Amino acid sequence: MNKILLLPYSFKKFGWALFIPTALFGVLMAVDGFNGFPSFLLPGDAVVNTIRDAVSNNIVLIGVLVGSLLVTCSRERIEDELIARIRLNALLTALYVNIAAAVIASLVLYDFDYLYVMVVNLVSLPILFLIIERLLLWRLRKEASHEE
The DSSP symbol for 38 reads: -
Residue 114 has pLDDT above 90, yes or no: no
Reduced to 3 states (helix: H, G, I; strand: E, B; else coil), residue 32 is coil
Residue 49 has pLDDT above 90, yes or no: no
Q: What percent of the chain has pLDDT over 90?
A: 25
Cβ-count burial of 18 within 10 angstroms (0-12 exposed, 13-18 middle, 19+ buried)? buried
pLDDT in tens, 12-34: 999 999 999 999 888 888 777 66
Q: Answer yes or no: are the C-beta atoms of 63 and 22 closer than 8 Å.
A: yes
The pLDDT-based confidence of 45 (bands split at 50, 70, 90) is low
Residue 10 has pLDDT above 80, yes or no: yes
pLDDT in tens, 67-88: 998 998 898 888 888 888 888 8
Q: How far apart are CA 47 and CA 44, in angstroms?
A: 8
Q: How far apart are CA 144 and CA 43, in angstroms?
A: 51
Name the phi and psi angles at 75, rounded to 5.
-65, 155
Q: Taking Cα atoms as reference points, which of 92, 123, 119, 117 lies closest to residue 104?
A: 117
> What predicted TM-score, i.e. pTM, was given to this entire model?
0.74
